[in-house]
Amino acid sequence: MRKAKTFRPWNPEQTLLLPPSPVDWLPEHHLVFFLLDMAAELDLSAIYAVYEARDPRGVKAYEPRMMVVLLLYAYCVGIPSSRRIERACWEDAAFRVLTGNQQPDHSRISDFRLVHLDALAGLFVQVLRLCQKAGLVSLGNVALDGTKVKANASKHKAMSHERMLKSEAQLEAEIAALLRKAELIDAQEDARYGKGERGDELPKELQRRQDRLDALRKAKAELEAEAAADHARRREQHARAAEEQAAEAAAQAAADTESEVAARALAKEAQQAERRARSARRRAELASKLAIDKAQAADLSTPDPLISVDPLAMPSRNLPTTAAGDPKGNAQRNFTDPDSHILKGGDGWIQGYNCQAAVDGDHQIIVAVGVSNQASDQHHFVPMLERIVANTGQLPANMIADAGYCSTSNIQASEQRGLDAYLSTSRQEHGKRPRPARGPAPRDLDARGRMDRKLRSKAGQAIYALRKIIAEPVFGQIKGARGLDRFLLRGLEKVDGEWTLMAITHNIGKLHRAALAAA
């Protein structure tokens, strides 16, 4: 007689006399255990200092180290949403092991991330140093690239300055018509019920239009202030360049009397440029004050009209402006996230940010990150180079970037620093390489010509070809494999912190896999 098939016992309602250790729920080399071990090496004093400064009474906070590891693991596995993290703390064994079977609610998780975002972003260098210590970073070939990431805002919530002016006039006319209608109704009701009766509340329709008009005027004032600040920055840059040219001409005139006339002309042009810059700065300050008054706020997220002297600062967007510094009709501002910008991404136009990453070629470790709302990559080259040096303490041997970063100033900046840069001078068709350079290089080549010559050499082609296998896969891993293709936070500073958090967890994943390979 054939024996009946048997199965393992299964009884979901049966309880255990002695519960097993949560450590036994996961494999030995799970990422959670790696993060718990790594967390012991991280300096979290900046986070603990916030709690030490608070009143010890009241509801006890969750252990900060546990919350840090919780956020890092959540971003590692592509779960940035605080509500999804809360649900995982109940349903996912890895999360329950990590938290010691605690379930912080989504508000506590979201508040922790928001309050300690700067401190969390500061962990980037600490994790990078661990990667260097593990031998994953050599700075031999570093590729710089950018990707457009969607903001937590719809592009349909953006409005151009021209449309703002039209909508403002339309709303003012509609409100005036409603006020006239309300006055007529009040007069009729006074005649019918007497003047002692109430009836002075604004109609709901009038309230809605007034709210829309207030929001529109606030956005228009902010856009005008930002355009004036951007105009002032460009004037300031022109004044500084003219001043440098005048100084060089004056030095040359001291040795050559024939250059004296040219030096005086350049000095006069520099003075005029400085006057225009001062005028633009005053206009930007007035526009910013007007925007603050209209918004009735103590602080406004408009750029500083003066040029930042911080070499690590990322560039800001260039709004189209008139010669007087007023925004042109096509200058836009988003009502949901004013810092975000309309950008051309891989899937078309998006409302988002330009996210930069410098990646080491050995194990695809990110060595520097940055976020801006400037669409062009060209202005990011020098700030990202400064960030690489600040994070690692040295220049890379080779710096590789596509044609979006190529400019005479960037090539000259590389040469002045002694950096061997490979910046494509033109966009190359897919699968095609430039024609190899033959014969000796001409002596009168300019900066762009020298770079083009280097890229067309056999060694230059081999190094530049590494760009596609160094930087581009990193964005695919972050946005495609982990699903981190849209920011949750709003505002440039918060988005910068979140992008850094994405980069930190990317490096943690690489460090974990290297540890598994070495085990």
Element (H, E) at 469: helix 467-470
Cβ–Cβ under 8 Å, residues 357 and 475:
yes
137-154+340-497 classified as CATH 1.10.287: no
Which of these, 407, 361, 343, lies nearest to 381 by C-alpha position?
407
State both tokens at 107. Answer: 């508000």
Within 8 A by CB and 6+ apart from 358, the residues are 142, 143, 144, 366, 367, 368, 369, 384, 387, 388
| Distance, CA of 74 to CA of 72 (rounded, Å) | 5
Segments in 149-203 forming alpha helices (H):
161-193
Helix axes 260-295, 204-255, angle to 10 degrees: 160
Torsion-angle region of residue 393: left (phi > 0), alpha (psi -120 to 50) or beta?
A: left
Three-state secondary-structure class, residue 473: helix
Domain ranges of the chain: 22-121, 137-154+340-497, 156-295
- For residue 143, the cross-strand partners are 359, 400
d(CA 334, CA 153): 8
Q: Which two tokens stand for residue 16?
A: 């255990």
CA-CA distance, 380 to 371, in Å (whole number)? 9
pLDDT, tens only, 118-157: 999 999 999 999 999 999 999 999 999 999 999 988 877 6
| Residue length of the chain | 519
C-beta of residue 303 within 8 angstroms of C-beta of residue 227: no
Query: pTM for the full model?
Result: 0.75
CA dist., res. 276 & res. 282, Å (int): 10
Give CA–CA dist 98/101, Å, rounded.
Answer: 8
Within 10 Å of residue 46's Cβ, how many Cβ atoms?
Answer: 13
Q: What is the pLDDT along the chain (519 residues), one digit of tens a residue?
A: 566 766 566 666 666 655 577 788 899 899 999 999 999 899 999 999 998 888 878 788 899 999 999 999 999 999 999 999 999 999 999 999 999 889 999 999 999 999 999 999 999 999 999 999 999 999 999 999 999 999 988 877 676 656 556 656 665 666 666 666 666 666 665 555 555 555 555 556 656 666 666 665 666 666 666 666 665 666 666 666 656 665 665 566 555 555 566 656 656 666 665 666 565 555 555 555 555 554 444 343 444 444 444 667 888 776 666 666 666 666 677 778 888 888 887 778 888 999 999 999 999 999 999 999 888 899 999 999 999 999 999 999 999 999 999 999 999 999 999 999 999 988 766 556 666 666 666 777 888 888 888 888 888 889 999 998 999 999 999 999 999 999 999 999 999 999 999 999 999 999 999 999 987
Tokens for 58? 């009241």
